[in-house]
């Protein structure tokens, strides 16, 4: 597959030191979305709900015809997923995007 791929890690508040656990995660896609995937990592199930259980909670990934397109899709997906204290970097892939746009 020649398309660009980009992943963004969503982390718990306090990571990489003492991070929070037990915050309910909302906004996860209800079904598979073409060219997008969410990989769960520091997640547990409590009373039928998904909650944070690690520093690196999950990774959102997206495919695109360009790095910029993959980046924008991944950022949109990351914004939809919520929990108290969630954070993620919004600059992932910026150098590759700059190189791509300089062509």
Backbone angles phi, psi at 60, to 5 degrees: -100, 135
Instruction: Count CB atoms within 10 A of the CB of residue 32.
Output: 8
CA dist 1 and 72 (Å) reads 19
Q: Looking at the predicted structure, is the pLDDT value of residue 103 above 90?
A: no
CATH number at residue 82: 3.90.600.10
Q: Cα-atom radius of gyration of the chain, to the nearest Å?
A: 15
Distance between CA 55 and CA 19 in Å, rounded? 6
pLDDT in tens, 19-64: 999 999 999 999 999 999 999 999 999 999 999 999 999 999 999 9
pTM over 0.85, yes/no: yes
Which domain does 70 fall in, by range?
4-102
3-state helix, strand, coil in the chain (%, to 5): 20, 35, 45
Q: Domains in the chain: how many in total?
A: 1
């Amino acid at each position: 597959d020649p398309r660009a791929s980009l992943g963004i890690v969503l982390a718990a508040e306090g990571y990489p030191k003492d991070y929070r656990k037990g915050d309910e995660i909302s906004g996860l896609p209800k079904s598979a979305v073409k060219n997008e995937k969410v990989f769960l990592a520091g997640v547990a199930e409590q009373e039928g709900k998904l909650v944070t259980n690690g520093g690196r909670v999950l990774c959102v990934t997206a495919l695109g015809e360009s790095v910029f397109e993959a980046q924008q899709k991944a950022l949109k997906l990351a914004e939809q997923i919520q929990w108290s204290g969630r954070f993620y970097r919004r600059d992932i892939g910026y150098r590759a995007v700059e190189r791509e746009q300089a062509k």
